[in-house]
Structures are given as C-alpha cells and as structure tokens.
Amino acid sequence: MRDVAVIGIGCTTFGEKWGTSFRDLFLEAGALALEDANLSGEGIDALYVGNMSAGRFVEQEHIGALIADYSGMASRHIPSTRVESACCSGGLAFRQAVIAVASGLEDVVVAAGVEKMTDVETSTSVDALAAAADREWEGFVGATFPGLYAMIANDYMHRYPLTREQLAQVAVKNHYNGARNPIAQFRSEITIDTVLRSSLVADPLRLFDCSPITDGAAAVILAPLERAREFTDAPVRVLATAQASDTIALHDRRDISTLDATVVAGRRALEMARLTPSEIDLVEVHDCFTIAEICAIEDLGFCRKGEGGRLTEEGETALGGRIPVNTSGGLKACGHPVGATGIKQVCEVVQQLRGDAGRRQVEGAEIGMTHNVGGTGASVAVHILGRA
Amino acid sequence: MSVPRFWRKIRQRYNLEGTRCTSCGRTFYPPRSFCPDCRRAGETVPFRFRGRGEIVTFTVIRTASDAFAQQTPFVLAIIQLEEGPRVTGQVVLEDVSEARIGMRVRPVFRRIGTEGESGVIYYGTKYVPDVPYPDA
C-alpha cells in the first residue's frame, strides 16, 4: 500500500444558505480545494462524495453523476461515487478515497461531502435524519435523533458522574471555538446559562445541546505522498484510516453509553499509526449532541469512562488544554451538514497541522485525529493525520 | 410508512411476536431471521413475548416529527424485557415526570400514530407501569 497525502482542502461557509443550491455548494468547495492544490481539474482521476439524503432533502439521487457533470468532468468520464453512511458519509467518502490512492488504482482523487438541508421544512429534515436509526423499530414508535441521544445521556448520568453544567460546558467550549472559525454557522460565544435556559428538546437535552440543521460542503484532494510536493509545500500525511460498525438500533447495543464502534475504530486507527492517545495533539469528534462529545473523548481513549465531564469542566478539551477537542467549533457551533461533516473535520485538522488556523490554532500541532459517527454509533470512521 | 410495509409486520407489532434461535436459545425482538451468534448453524422460529420488563433508560420527547407532533410530550424508553432482548417503546404515563430508570412496565395495545387526517392508523405496543389493576 502506498502512503497517501492530503494536498488540498476547501470548505464553504456553513449555515442556512438560502441563496445557494445543492450543486453550487459542492462546486464552491471543490473549486476551493482545487485552487488550494494548484490543480485545474484536469489531473483528477476520481471523485468520492459523501451525502446522506439528497433524495429527501432536495429530491435528487444519482449524486455522483450530477457532481461529476457540474464539476466539468462528464466529458472526461472519470469515476464518481456517492458514499452513504448517514452522518458518517463524509468520513467514509474520505476513507474510500484514501483506499483508492493507497491501492495504486487511482492517483489524484477528490473526497467531498455535501448536504443541503434547508430546502425542506424542519419537520421533514428531522424525519429524514431519523432514517439513520432503525425506521421499523425505533422511528416507528416515535424516536427522534435528539431522543435517542437523550436516552444515552440519561443512561450515562445514571451510571457515571456528569452534571448538567458539565454537559453544557461542551456547547460553551464549542461555541468559543466556532466564534474563531470564519466558516462556522454560529460565531457567537455562549454561557452555561444560555444552554440551561434554552428549551427542552428531549430530556435532559436542550436546544443548545443539539447541533443545528446546516447547508454546507467540503472537499479535500488526495495524492500519493511521493507525488505530494508537486502540488503543495505543506502536504499532510494520512497516518491511519479505520472504520467500524455496530447494531443499527440503540436498544441492541452491548452498552448504551459506550459507542463500541468508536472504541474499535479508534483502537484500529491508533494501532495502524503506531500511536497512543497522548501523542494526538487535537481531535475533531462527532458532537452531534453534547453527550456525544463526552462519550467520544472517553471511547477514543483520551480519558477513562466517566471522566469526560470533569475533563471538559477543567478546560482540558479547550484551546490550550491537554487535548483540544473540536477546534472548528464542532458540529454544535460550526454546523452539521451531515454528509459534509466528516470532510470538514479533515479540513480543520489539515489547517491546524499547516499552522493556518488563526485564532484557534493549536500551537505546534503535528498529529490530529478525526472521528465521524453515523446514527447513534452504528458506523464510525476514525482518521489520523500528521505533518508530512 | 406504506400500507403493505405496516401490514406485513402486524403480527409482530400487535402481539410482540419475535423469534428464537433453536440452536442457542437466544430470543430476538424486534424479530431477526438470522441469529448473529450461530449464523448459518442456527435456525429461528417465531417466539411470542409476554413483554414485561423494566426501563433501562428513557427521555421525554418534546419535539417530534409530524406523525407524533400531537402526542408531545411523551416518554420514549428502552425496555429490558424479562425474556432477554431490549426494545424501544413509548411508556404511557399520566404525568411524564413520573418516568424512572428501573420502573417495571407491561405491554398494552395502543394506537402508535396516524398518517395525516385520512391516512392509515398505526397500532402497536406501548408500555404502562406494571401495577395491579385497580379493584372494580
């Protein structure tokens, strides 16, 4: 297998982008990534696109072909593949692209993610997102995504020490970071009171415990490491790619408060990179809800089970802390265009490793990790990136 | 959910009919036709659950999708059945604040949801606190 490098990144701003269509979102991110890699588009061998539910959100399927066409690649007939794994679609698109380059089959490959979520009413998007859970046996009885994660939170708080304030601190920290990220959907700082005074969505989770509905796209360009310096002075090496799955329904899990797929994918990634959690300088985790970040930092091995709340409260996961988590603002503040999130996480880590993260820069960052979850933990992708 | 999609699972939804692996004895609800432990060595047969159990975890849903919007707030729980598996279901309580982890529950036949004003009415199983019936 060949070593693989990220040679270009591009990300739209995230938010409610009424003026921008599905295809325009993708084109904007793709163009930024090509420009970043000093490529015209002619050198691209293949496209992988993470997208969860264009069928429900914009009534469009066949996304691979659509994007190849509007990117001007139809006449070159390059392979273009849509990758779907709910909110983990972007992470898996990245992994597919890494595997394609590592195998030697393809050289310069685009891994992208896109989701246009605000062309339908909120209740429709809530229902489309619920399709990431088991429709027949969870959705049928009234389960929503906030509801499922709320049941994780209640189970967790029943078994481990975690205060409501510690949970709110996850959102406070991620808004602080988001306020320092030019692409973030929410660029305002909040307090613990903001979270505790927001309306209940599914007890104990409140509105400010939840990631928003977002339009956005992100793209990265991959090449063999040996060719990376043809395109960029600051290539970032892919040190590990890992993926794991688990039961689709939360009720069938071994342990409701532990995402076993995160544990396994995290362990596989660390083994592949021959690293320990203490050697990771920053991590982008899948904080679709505040409780999800607490579970993620524990399940990835940054602290023991039950210590996530204290770690957050003590500022160890904030900028300047022992292990900065979600410097982009995470899904909570940067926004969560579901299919794009996994790629945006890679963009953030690459920016950090290049030293280009401005006011949210982690000083001297050399190794970063991304953690992207589908559903309540039925699919997980973990990647580790390092300065080349 | 379309009519045939709902209709084909009526027995399982109304009667809590799951499956049991004849090789290892493990029971499944929701039903599985393939035992994940025994795989091809196992064979599954229908198994009817009594459905008593206790709440492992729960939430109060305040914002629901359209099909459930009129029912909010309602309690959604994961219930550990005495007969093995865990299921997701609604717990019917007069006051949603009465829900507790560890609460004993039993199944009841209830309307689950409706599809618009003229669409299909879905029935199935919800749960209520497992207390003796009051004297008549």
Residue B88 lies in a domain: yes
Kindly list the residues from chain B whose CB atom is less than 8 angstroms away from the CB atom of residue A200: 60, 62
Q: Going by C-beta distance under 8 Å and a sequence separation of 6 or more, which residues neighbour residue A2?
A: A101, A102, A103, A104, A224, A225, A226
Within a 10 A sphere around the Cβ of A310, how many other Cβ atoms? Answer: 14
- A27's torsion region: left (phi>0), alpha (psi -120 to 50) or beta? alpha
Which pair of tokens denotes residue A81?
A: 């593949």
Residues of chain A with CATH 3.40.47.10: 4-121+214-236, 136-206+238-387
d(CA A90, CA A94) in angstroms, rounded, equals 6
Kindly list the residues from chain B whose CB atom is less than 8 angstroms away from the CB atom of residue A201: 62-63
Give the pLDDT of residue B3: 85
Q: Going by C-beta distance under 8 Å and a sequence separation of 6 or more, which residues neighbour residue A185?
A: A14, A15, A16, A178, A212, A214, A216, A333, A334, A335
Within a 10 A sphere around the Cβ of B33, how many other Cβ atoms? Answer: 8
Could you give the number of structural domains in chain B?
1
- With an 8 Å Cβ cutoff, are B66 and A140 in contact? no
What domain range is B87 assigned to? 51-129
Q: Give the helix/strand (H/E) hosting B112.
A: strand B104-114
Judged against a pLDDT cut of 80, whether residue B1 lies above it is answered with no
Name residue, tokens 């992208």.
Answer: A112
Q: Tell me which range, A195-199, B11-15, B131-135, is most confidently predicted by mean pLDDT.
A: A195-199
- With an 8 Å Cβ cutoff, are B62 and A127 in contact? no
Q: Tell me the per-residue pLDDT of A83-111, one tens digit each, with 9 for 90 and over.
A: 999 999 999 999 999 999 999 999 999 99
Residue B5 lies in a domain: no
Which pair of tokens denotes residue A149?
A: 């994660």
Residue B13 lies in a domain: no
Which pair of tokens denotes residue A19?
A: 């003026």
Class of domain A4-121+214-236: alpha beta
d(CA A144, CA A289) in angstroms, rounded, equals 13
A154, closest residue in chain B (CA to CA)? B57
Grade residue B132 by pLDDT with cuts at 50, 70 and 90.
confident
Positions of chain A with pLDDT under 70: none
Kindly report the pTM of this predicted structure: 0.97
Catalytic amino acids of A? 87, 336
Give the pLDDT of residue B135: 63
Tell whether A35 lies on the interface with B, counting CB pairs under 8 A.
no
Judged against a pLDDT cut of 60, whether residue B136 lies above it is answered with no
CATH 2.60.40.790 assigned to domain A136-206+238-387? The reply is: no
Q: Tell me the per-residue pLDDT of A263-318, one tens digit each, with 9 for 90 and over.
A: 999 999 999 999 999 999 999 999 999 999 999 999 999 999 999 999 999 999 99
For the residues B63-67, what does the mean pLDDT come to? 86
Residue B35 lies in a domain: no
Phi and psi angles of residue A347, each rounded to the nearest 5 degrees, phi first: -55, -45
Identify the bridge partners of residue A8 per DSSP, sorted by sequence position: A221
The per-residue pLDDT of chain B, averaged, comes to 93
Name residue, tokens 């002619």.
Answer: A42
Evaluate the CA torsion angle A18, A22, A24, A25 in order and state its sign.
Answer: positive
d(CA A339, CA A342) in angstroms, rounded, equals 7
CATH of the domain at B112: 2.40.50
Contact A261, A375 (CB under 8 A): no
> What is the total residue count of chain A?
388
Tell whether B77 lies on the interface with A, counting CB pairs under 8 A.
yes
Looking at residue A74, its amino acid is A
Residue B12 lies in a domain: no
Residue B95 lies in a domain: yes
Which has more pLDDT, B93 or B2? B93
**A78 to A29, A60, A83, A101, A129: CA distances (angstroms):** 19, 21, 16, 15, 31
Within a 10 A sphere around the Cβ of B20, how many other Cβ atoms? Answer: 24
Residue B22 lies in a domain: no
Evaluate the CA torsion angle A330, A333, A338, A341 in order and state its sign.
Answer: negative
A151, closest residue in chain B (CA to CA)? B58
Tell whether A203 lies on the interface with B, counting CB pairs under 8 A.
yes
Which pair of tokens denotes residue B10?
A: 């009526």
